[in-house]
Amino acid sequence: MGDTVHVTTKTGLKLDVDDAAAQDDELLAAALAVHAGDALGLPRLLRLLLTDKARAALYDHVRRAGRVAYDALVDETVDIMGQLPGKKKVIALAGMLAADEDALVCDLAETYRILDWRALPVRTAATLAVGLSEDSRIKMRLTGAKAPSSTLLTAAMIDRLSVLCWGQTKDAQHGRNRPKMMLDMLQADAPAKKTDGTTAYASAAEFEAARQRILKGGGDRGD
């Protein structure tokens, strides 16, 4: 048994949860299943995390018109786990892995020289992942940042300087040729790529199926 944590969710549900109720690797696997859309992932996660009594209380709390609302159940579970010191980082690791495992692997290798995070205890890997800088690939991926903060700050400084210099010119007096803002360009969404009409296939079987449709007159020849 670990430390008992008294949890109160935003919607008023009160539970006593054992912070050491589940093994970290089991919890991580269950959380990844939830992220992957596995219908059994959430029930498995709750069985690992809560006692039968606490789980029943949670289900009753989110039950509406005799049905357990899945979205509400997810929200309550996230709220509960966010209040468990020993589990919060493991869940954060699961979120990073689900978002972009390749980015996380690159960040761990670059920052800590760790090439195989799976060789570490889950909680150690989670602590290191959470400790990555805000400019790391995975954290930028999670926040939707388009560039590192240092790059954005530099771009803002250059923009200020270019506007000041432009303000001393005749163009500025006539409101023309205003310099383009680097910060805007860095934060803008990438333009959609134009295609030449070429169709790509993920496998030889997919290509052959498309080929047969074309031969039978049921597919797009691309002309």
Give the pLDDT confidence of 137-152 residue by residue, as tens digits.
Answer: 999 999 888 888 888 8
Per-residue pLDDT reduced to its tens digit, 89-132: 998 999 999 999 999 999 999 999 999 999 999 999 999 999 99
Same domain for 30 and 111: yes
Domain total in the chain? 2
Task: Give the model's confidence band at 202: pLDDT under 50 very low, under 70 low, under 90 confident, else very high.
Answer: low
Same domain for 122 and 71: yes
Q: What per-residue confidence (pLDDT) applies to 142?
A: 92
Position 218 pLDDT exceeds 60:
no
Position 11 pLDDT exceeds 80:
yes
Same domain for 176 and 99: no
Using a pLDDT cut of 90, give the percent of the chain over it.
Answer: 49
Residue numbers of the domain that contains 130:
4-143
Per-residue pLDDT reduced to its tens digit, 69-95: 888 999 999 899 889 887 889 989 999
Contact 21, 52 (CB under 8 A): no
CA–CA separation, 26 vs 32, rounded Å? 10
CB neighbours of 131 closer than 8 A, spacing ≥ 6? none
89 φ/ψ angles, rounded to the nearest 5 degrees: -70, -35
Same domain for 93 and 11: yes
Is residue 20 assigned to a domain?
A: yes
Same domain for 128 and 181: no
Same domain for 154 and 78: no
**Where is pLDDT greater, at 197 or 146?**
146
Same domain for 132 and 60: yes
Give the best-scoring range by mean pLDDT among 14-28, 59-73, 92-106, 200-214: 92-106
Position 1 pLDDT exceeds 70:
no
Mean predicted lDDT score pLDDT of the chain: 86
